[in-house]
Amino acid sequence: MSFDLVFFGGTGDLTWRKLMPALFQAFRHGKLPPGGRILAVARDDRSDDEYRSFIHERFNDVESSKRPSEDEFARFAKLLHYRRMDLSQPEHYARLKAWLDERGADTVVLYLATSPHLFPVICEQLGAAGLNGPHVRVVLEKPLGHDLASAQEINRVVRRAFSEQQAFRIDHYLGKPAVQNLMALRFGNALFEPLWRRESVANIQITLAEDIGVGTRGDFYDRTGALRDMVQNHALQLLTMIAMEPPSTNDADAIRDEKLKVLRSLKPFTPESVTRDVIRGQYRAGTIGGKPVPGYLDEAKVPPGSATETFVAIRTEVQNWRWAAVPFYLRTGKRLAERDAQIVVNFRPVPHPIFLGATRANKLVIKLQPEDGLELHLLAAKGTGNDELLTPVSLDLDFDKAFPTERVGAYERLLLDAIAGRLNLFVRSDEQEQAWRWVEPILEAWHRDGSGARPYAAGSYGPPAASALVARDGYAWAEEF
């Protein structure tokens, strides 16, 4: 199956930082289908060779295990092409079409790695130029909207030129191996599913903690904030995977129908419940890994006095028979104590304890990063003669060790899926809009309430109010007990 992959925004950060390294890994692993061409388009004039040199140099900024050798790059570079394009000029699209038609690849993937404000003009021009035939797919990179209305507008524009089956909306968390493993854990094994419900589960915690700050993206981040940047997409997608009903098949729409039902079942927010169940924070100076780091307001390009949140903790519920009254806690933030993304399923304690001492309920920890694995926490008798007191033990599964050579990174996986036309790990427009519908009352309540974000020290786990949110139900975050 031959393919042409076109990157709009071909010289941008996303392309050289994430997409080219991911494609190179696919190439190195022999996973890229043969007969492929990669075309970068951008505003400035370059030859194919100049573009290849540009990408070659950029690979120096990629982690060393992912850098090509000279020989590998020389082979990979043969796939790379470059064309100058002014995205507002119809004749430039006609030229692109001629270039693609000349070869007539089986599949054409158009990856919009540009700022989203260019999506409308690009989609419109692609449609007008006839670059939207059934063999064409369009990949849309986040941020997909700033609120419900802008997300709907992007979807309207995309729909004018492409069908839903042609639209591949990226949420790179869905490409992470641990997230795919979550599907395998739940629907490829019979063990947990009978327990995966309110009768056995006390609460579920989703933490997406980062130790990095906003870096050089202060201006973008300040307009966005943690709720839009991490919760509306990544955290909610994880929640849907945890809470969904078993799909009837492993097909994209069977899965996405079930995920949509979860999003529709999330307890809607009111101004009162936002005040009660949503905590926003902003980091102040602190220490991470022994090094002092500045506060958010001292970061480059952050406007003075900004009230933008760099941390959010939310308590919500999935209002259906399976999950009624089970708290789901979501939490994400920058400059937290460590980089740690995990989902903790806290089970209910035994109904009638017969052993002495404190008992601990079982928990299953699904680790997304930095490690990718599972931990099942149990209680055991040590066999030292005093087995009345049980000892906490855990069964650990490290997927990187279990599958040492086979692992594929998130962007690599998603690019290969887009080329192959597999939509399972991409977000459908109705899911994306429903997620916006759910977060919008939070944005509105914050807009009205001038009290701003609560300060927290860099290197902590967020403001103390986030602990109080969980303690109110008689629970604690995973690192607190």
Residues with a catalytic annotation lie at 234
Q: Does 141 bind ligand BG6 (CB under 6 A)?
A: no
* Residue closer to ligand BG6, measured from CB, 293 or 341: 341
C-alpha span between 398 and 181 (Å, rounded): 12
Token pair for residue 34?
């043969």
Extended beta strands in 141-298, E state: 167-169, 201-209, 278-284, 286-288, 291-293
* Residue closer to ligand BG6, measured from CB, 68 or 177: 177
Instruction: Decide the pairing of beta strands 340-347 and 311-316.
Output: unpaired
**Least spacing, CB of residue 210 vs ligand BG6, in Å:** 6
Q: What angle do CA 177, 178, 183 make, to 5 degrees?
A: 95
**Least spacing, CB of residue 14 vs ligand BG6, in Å:** 10
* Residue closer to ligand BG6, measured from CB, 193 or 338: 338
Closest CB to ligand BG6: residue number:
229
CA 335 to chain centre: 18
Using alpha carbons, select from 363, 330, 329, 359 the residue that is nearest to residue 346: 363
Residues 358-387 that bind ligand BG6 (CB under 6 A): none
**Least spacing, CB of residue 125 vs ligand BG6, in Å:** 27
Contact between 179 and 373 (Cβ < 8 Å): no
Q: Is 51 exposed, middle or buried (0-12, 13-18, 19+ CB in 10 A)?
A: buried
Helix (H, G, I), strand (E, B) or coil at 463: coil
* Residue closer to ligand BG6, measured from CB, 20 or 105: 20
**Tokens 């790059």 sit at which residue?**
73
Using alpha carbons, select from 310, 225, 324 the residue that is nearest to residue 266: 324
**Least spacing, CB of residue 236 vs ligand BG6, in Å:** 13
Using alpha carbons, select from 376, 409, 407, 405 the residue that is nearest to residue 393: 376
Q: Does 4 bind ligand BG6 (CB under 6 A)?
A: no
C-alpha span between 270 and 268 (Å, rounded): 7
* Residue closer to ligand BG6, measured from CB, 144 or 478: 144
**Least spacing, CB of residue 411 vs ligand BG6, in Å:** 9
* Residue closer to ligand BG6, measured from CB, 229 or 372: 229
Using alpha carbons, select from 60, 15, 58, 18 the residue that is nearest to residue 40: 15
Q: Is 386 exposed, middle or buried (0-12, 13-18, 19+ CB in 10 A)?
A: exposed
Token pair for residue 199?
């009768």
**Least spacing, CB of residue 144 vs ligand BG6, in Å:** 11
Contact between 326 and 206 (Cβ < 8 Å): no
**Least spacing, CB of residue 373 vs ligand BG6, in Å:** 16
* Amino acid type, 129: A
Kind and range of the H or E element at 187?
helix 177-187
**Widest distance between CA atoms in the chain:** 83
Q: Does 431 bind ligand BG6 (CB under 6 A)?
A: no
Sign of CA dihedral 441, 444, 449, 454: positive
**Least spacing, CB of residue 420 vs ligand BG6, in Å:** 22
* Residue closer to ligand BG6, measured from CB, 210 or 433: 210
CA 320 to chain centre: 25
Q: Does 229 bind ligand BG6 (CB under 6 A)?
A: yes
C-alpha span between 470 and 466 (Å, rounded): 7
Residues 57-116 that bind ligand BG6 (CB under 6 A): none
Residues 300-359 that bind ligand BG6 (CB under 6 A): 341
C-alpha span between 440 and 438 (Å, rounded): 6
* Residue closer to ligand BG6, measured from CB, 85 or 235: 235
* Residue closer to ligand BG6, measured from CB, 201 or 341: 341
Contact pattern from residue 236 through residue 275 relative to ligand BG6, giving x for each residue in contact according to CB under 6 A and a dash for the rest: ----------------------------------------
Q: Does 210 bind ligand BG6 (CB under 6 A)?
A: yes
**Least spacing, CB of residue 229 vs ligand BG6, in Å:** 5
Count of residues interacting with ligand BG6 (CB under 6 A): 3
Contact between 475 and 202 (Cβ < 8 Å): yes
Binding site for ligand BG6 (CB under 6 A): 210, 229, 341
